[in-house]
Structure 1
Amino acid sequence: MQTGSCKFGLWKVIVSWNGNIVHQVQFVKTAPEGAVPVQFTKFLAGRSDSFAPLISSAVSGETVYARIYRAVAEIPYGETRTYREIALAADTHPRVVGNAMAKNPTALLVPCHRVLAADGTLGGFTPDLQIKKDLLKMEAAKRHTIGKS
């Protein structure tokens, strides 16, 4: 297992992976230096919209959380879905989706920042809601740029 960190604004993003399987992504204030897969540095700099060929370890299996994480992982870059839409896709309840998002071990790969409440409010994001706002703003700006090409 390899672990490293990269920057996103004032935050550090710790990534733990083995080959193409990512086991943990965590936003923290301080972290030891160390290389991460290039897909993370490109994505967080707004230079890429994909993590391929990396995949989240959380999408494996047939548990309700794995179904939720797969549904969230399918949300296209720059788009959002509601907790209810994810619940319908994963055959569960929106509150279960919220619980799964709060425990998401691989944020970014399972882009929980793209899941919003039905009324358009952001919901939550650990450790700081501002990270979710910044990620959505970055994706909206890049998507707008792509649309002009």
Structure 2
Amino acid sequence: MRGVTDNARVDVETCASVEIPTPIGPLGVVVTARGVLAVGLGGLTSAEQAARSLNGLVPGSLPGPVERVRGELGEYFEGMRQAFTVPIDWRLSSGYALEVRRMLAETVAYGDTISYSGLARLVRDEDVEGRDGAARAVGRAMATNPVPLLVPCHRVLAADGSLHGFGGGLEMKRRLLALEGAVPATLF
């Protein structure tokens, strides 16, 4: 009797990786034909590690998508871009985390901030595990965000307005918020 795996087919899809130097340090970016799959705040290693969790991705060349994300990130750091238009490949997000990340990307604009509990209220989650539990659930979704900057988890603050948690560290979060004018540049 033939096993299921004998007939199993894995679709192969090209992904491209690039490391982009920025004022906050190198960003690793993995793109597919669908969009940006992962952004690594410390460089390429973390972005590629996130991409490895998907079966069927093979390294290749995608010059159009790579140059588009490189250009938009460059414009952002030069203060010439306030919204990203590159598509996001959402396959590394699912369930509640996907809902929270989409809400953040769609509602919290450049230069604005929101609290963890405020974001929970936007996704109508204030009653799940109580208010503090909902804020913690949003925090978990932000902590595992595979596309930081594009999904601007740096704009999410503690209820008292203080900086709390960020994959690239609080100094990086502070610098991103200062770039956007959300906090005074003198704080770093």
SS of alignment partner, residue 26 of structure 2:
strand
- Residues 138 and 10 (structure 1), Cα distance of their counterparts in 2 relative to 1, 3 Å cut: closer
- Structure 1 CA distance for aligned equivalents of residues 75 and 140 of structure 2: 29
- Structure 1 CA distance for aligned equivalents of residues 43 and 113 of structure 2: 26
- Residues 71 and 10 (structure 1), Cα distance of their counterparts in 2 relative to 1, 3 Å cut: closer
**Matched residue type, 1:73:** A
Q: RMSD across aligned C-alpha pairs, in angstroms? A: 2.3
Q: State the number of aligned residues.
A: 138
Q: Does 1:27 align with 2:41?
A: yes
SS of alignment partner, residue 8 of structure 1:
coil
Contact map agreement 1:87 1:97 (CA 8 A) in 2: yes
Unaligned runs of 5+ in 1: 142-149
Q: Which residue of 1 aligns with 2:119?
A: 86
Q: Does 1:65 align with 2:101?
A: no
SS of alignment partner, residue 181 of structure 2:
helix
Matches within 5 A, 1:1-149: 1-28=15-42, 36=67, 37=69, 38-57=71-90, 63-74=95-106, 75-92=108-125, 93-140=134-181
Cα drift, residue 131 of structure 1 = 0.8
Contact map agreement 1:7 1:13 (CA 8 A) in 2: yes
- TM-score normalized by the length of structure 2: 0.66
- TM-score normalized by the length of structure 1: 0.82
- Structure 1 CA distance for aligned equivalents of residues 143 and 93 of structure 2: 18
- Structure 1 CA distance for aligned equivalents of residues 91 and 104 of structure 2: 11
- Structure 1 CA distance for aligned equivalents of residues 158 and 22 of structure 2: 24
Per mean C-alpha deviation after superposition, the further-off stretch among 52-61 and 101-110 is: 52-61
SS of alignment partner, residue 101 of structure 2:
helix
Q: Which residue of 2 aligns with 1:147?
A: none
